[in-house]
């Protein structure tokens, strides 16, 4: 592998390999993605012009089951990024003991620059291009950055049109009316909330005495901020792509969410009159938010937000990765040297894929669970695996990231080795 996002991500694998006993065959298989698909999507724009978009779908490993992973729309989407995200998904699914492998997809596009009709044509065109590589038993799609239930519905519908039958299980995160699951839209945030609570309880931290900063006030970041605030945590700073705000006494998260919806951004001002309580606040950038003196920092935006360049400036005692890959491997070392605990993305943000699994199961059975059932099943699974990772970290004196990868590797190794290893074949021929 060349030095890239994927190469940086694989360093986490190398660190965990020191603490597991799996075959060389399994290690070799995990070095490379199983399939990497790159497609061109021709779209007729509203003005009559034809524009080409580049799309990707990577299935990294499917030893434990069909590939599973979201589709993101972003100007910076690349094959390297998608391969890295599929790599992380492989370990995330194993860590949560889900019967899935890791996959990911994306389109290089600024979705904000498209009309709704253009967005629909692009989404359906993407499925036309990758239809032979996906399916409910092969590779299952889900929402990610700048994709949502409506887009997932278009994708499921287009796949069903191609195959001339209704196939709800090919996509998760769909509208409820099209076979979606209760609780899916907030699953990533709810899962993160349970992980944060579990770790804070282990450390003896009470919510009322814990300050929180959230970088990335999107679907997951805003919802986890809301749930933490409801529990009594003091959320003192939030930011989106346009900037952020900080108030030492805490922010009124429901009002900020309302304001963001109404104005399409936080815009670094605090709304007035009936929408918000008037509080003194500071305007700050995303970069400044990362360096605030808070107890918990939650990067919930994009990859590579904390690097070797700014890791020394981080003052938070705990970091929970709600985004995928927000901390580079070089930054990891610096944070560990400074006694900052990082709870990794493959655990913290696994609530989304967990409820996606619930949705897939419901689609295949044709029987749907209540919101209460989904919520309880998610809570039990997230707390159980958070406690497993915590115990492994304490027992073997590992970082939470290395413990999470070690736990996942043990499950992956068993599945990979079940197909036969060098020792098995050498032994059988002697």
**Which active-site residues does the annotation give?**
104
371 exposed, middle or buried (CB, 10 Å; 0-12, 13-18, 19+)? exposed
Contact 164, 195 (CB under 8 A): no
Residue 358 Cα distances to 34, 98, 175, angstroms: 25, 10, 14
Closest CA to 320 of 305, 341, 339, 334: 341
CB atoms within 10 A of CB 209: 10
Three-class SS of residue 15?
helix
Contact 323, 300 (CB under 8 A): yes
CB 162 within 8 A of CB 128: yes
The conformational region for residue 252 under phi > 0 = left, psi -120 to 50 = alpha, else beta, is: beta
- Kindly state the helix (H) or strand (E) to which residue 300 belongs, with its residue range: none
User: Three-state SS for 48?
Assistant: coil
Residue with tokens 């599929």: 86
> Are the beta carbons of 5 and 81 closer than 8 angstroms?
yes
DSSP assignment of 197-246 equals HHHHHHTT--GGG-EEEEE--SHHHHHHHHHHHHHT-EEEEEEETTEEEE
Strand order in the sheet with 243-246: 282-284, 243-246, 234-240, 211-215, 296-299, 318-320, 341-343
Q: Which residue has the tokens 């724009």?
A: 45
89: region left, alpha or beta (phi > 0 left; psi from -120 to 50 alpha): alpha
CA-nearest of 80, 69, 72 to 104 is: 69
* Residue that has been written with the tokens 């560990």 in this structure: 336
Task: Give the tokens for residue 350.
Answer: 């696994």
């Amino acid at each position: 592998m060349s030095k890239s996002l994927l190469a940086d991500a694989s360093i986490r694998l190398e660190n965990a390999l020191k603490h597991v006993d799996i075959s060389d065959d399994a290690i070799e298989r995990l070095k490379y993605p199983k399939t990497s698909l790159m497609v061109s999507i021709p779209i007729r724009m509203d003005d009559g012009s034809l524009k080409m978009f580049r799309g990707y779908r990577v299935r990294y490993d499917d030893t434990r089951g069909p590939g599973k992973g979201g589709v993101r729309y972003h100007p910076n989407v690349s094959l390297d990024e998608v391969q890295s995200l599929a790599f992380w998904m492989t370990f995330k699914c194993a860590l949560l003991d889900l019967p899935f492998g890791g996959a990911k997809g994306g389109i290089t596009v600024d979705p904000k620059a498209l009309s709704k009709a253009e967005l629909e044509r692009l989404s359906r065109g993407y499925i036309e291009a990758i239809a032979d590589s996906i399916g409910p038993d092969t590779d299952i799609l889900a929402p990610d950055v700048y994709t949502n239930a409506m887009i997932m519905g278009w994708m499921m519908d287009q796949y069903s049109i191609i195959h001339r039958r209704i196939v709800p299980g090919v996509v998760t995160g769909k509208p409820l009316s099209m076979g979606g699951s209760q609780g899916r839209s907030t699953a990533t945030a709810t899962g993160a909330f349970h992980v944060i609570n579990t770790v804070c309880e282990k450390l003896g931290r009470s919510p009322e005495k814990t300050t929180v900063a959230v970088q990335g006030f999107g679907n997951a970041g805003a919802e986890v901020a809301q749930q933490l605030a409801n529990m009594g945590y003091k959320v003192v700073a939030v930011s989106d792509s346009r900037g952020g705000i900080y108030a030492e006494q805490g922010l009124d998260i429901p009002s900020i969410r309302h304001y963001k919806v109404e104005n399409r951004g936080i815009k670094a001002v605090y709304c007035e009159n009936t929408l918000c309580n008037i509080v003194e606040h500071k305007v700050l950038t995303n970069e400044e938010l990362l360096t605030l003196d808070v107890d918990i920092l939650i990067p919930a935006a994009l990859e590579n937000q904390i690097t070797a360049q700014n890791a020394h400036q981080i003052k938070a005692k705990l970091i929970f990765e709600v985004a995928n890959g927000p901390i580079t491997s070089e930054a990891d070392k610096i944070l560990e040297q400074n006694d900052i605990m990082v709870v990794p993305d493959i655990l913290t943000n696994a609530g989304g894929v967990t409820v996606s699994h619930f949705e897939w199961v419901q689609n295949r059975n044709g029987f749907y669970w209540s919101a209460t059932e989904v919520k309880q099943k998610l809570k039990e699974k997230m707390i159980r695996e958070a406690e497993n990772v915590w115990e492994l970290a304490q027992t073997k004196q590992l970082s939470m990231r290395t413990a999470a990868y070690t736990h996942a590797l043990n499950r992956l190794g068993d599945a990979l080795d079940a197909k036969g290893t060098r020792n098995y074949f050498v032994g059988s021929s002697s």
